[in-house]
Amino acid sequence: MDRSRRNFLGLGAAAVGTATLQPATVEAREARHGGDAAHRWAMVVDLRKCVGCQACTMACIMENRVPEDSFRTIVSTYEVAENGKSATYMLPRLCNHCENPPCTPVCPTGATYQRQDGIVVVDNSVCVGCGYCVQACPYDARFINHETLTADKCNFCVHRVDAGLLPACVETCVGGARIFGDLNDPESTVSKLVASEDVKVLKPGEGTDPRVFYIGLEAEFQGRVDGTPTLWRPSRAKAEPSLV
């Protein structure tokens, strides 16, 4: 089924010494592998429609209670020279939910794992904040949440997906640049875009087989994941009390 912006699916730790960590058993890992294997959720980001408004960033922060100065998703902006003039290039970034995620095999407790529907999640009830997964991610998509002291990242708003809703960033994208859907459904918008458009992924040489695809991604930006939001940054400073 399609998960375009207007078509919903009707589905209903402080770090410790690594020497003390014991790998999770296969049974323990499999017990947490939720999701329906019939689906393979993915996102297409159409850069031709992204205006850098950061509505996706703010929606993610509010939906997932992301702590200050951390981001599960953000639109990085680059200043580029084009025909002798300055221009701005927008690059929305988030966890790529790789088919072959490098973050999962390095997790000593099995806190980071891939669901049967392809979504890579973090079980922060067993995460010890060792940071191995943060270092293993080639996309700079993970961070240690300074409030929970556990690994954090985009999870496609899995709580919404499981309830038949769109990820918050897709729901609020004013330009319709983010499209979410099921790659296993040939009639979904995501499947049709991947089949018909010249889609690219970030860092294809890593062999991770990302499930976040880009339309209009320039080759020189495929390896760039370190852009900074030069035009905008959220501020959560409390308003000064009025003296009036």
Residue 191 in 3-state DSSP? Answer: helix
User: Token pair 């640049």 is at which residue?
Assistant: 177
Instruction: Return d(Cα 228, Cα 235) in angstroms, integer.
Output: 15
Tokens representing 133 are: 């997964």
Domain count of the chain? Answer: 1
Q: Is residue 226 part of a domain?
A: no
- The alpha helices in 55-131, defined as continuous H runs, are 55-64
Question: pLDDT (tens digit, 9 = 90+) per residue, 167-191?
Answer: 999 999 999 999 999 999 999 999 9
Local confidence band at 79 (pLDDT 50, 70, 90 cut-offs): confident
Q: Is residue 136 part of a domain?
A: yes
Domain holding 44, by residue range, is: 28-221
User: Token pair 């959720």 is at which residue?
Assistant: 41
Residue 18 has pLDDT above 70, yes or no: no
Q: Is residue 69 part of a domain?
A: yes
Q: Is residue 232 part of a domain?
A: no
Query: What number of other Cβ atoms are within 10 A of residue 76's Cβ?
Result: 20
Nearest Cα residue to 157 out of 64, 66, 61, 68: 64
- The alpha helices in the chain, defined as continuous H runs, are 26-31, 55-64, 132-136, 158-161, 168-172, 189-196
The model's pTM: 0.81
User: Can you give the length of the chain in residues?
Assistant: 244
Tokens representing 31 are: 């017990």
Residue 192 in 3-state DSSP? Answer: helix
Q: Is residue 217 part of a domain?
A: yes
Residue 30 in 3-state DSSP? Answer: helix
Of the two residues 92 and 230, the one the predictor is more confident about is 92
Instruction: Return d(Cα 150, Cα 137) in angstroms, integer.
Output: 15
Question: pLDDT (tens digit, 9 = 90+) per residue, 19-72?
Answer: 344 444 455 455 557 899 999 999 999 999 999 999 999 999 999 999 998 999
Nearest Cα residue to 124 out of 150, 154, 158: 150
- The confidence score (pLDDT) of residue 73 equals 96
Q: Quick one: DSSP state of residue 201?
A: -
- CA angle, corner 110, sides to 108 and 114, nearest 5? 130
* CATH number of the domain residue 116 falls in: 3.30.70.20
Rg (CA), the chain: 19
Q: Is residue 17 part of a domain?
A: no
Q: Is residue 173 part of a domain?
A: yes
Local confidence band at 5 (pLDDT 50, 70, 90 cut-offs): very low
Q: Is residue 236 part of a domain?
A: no
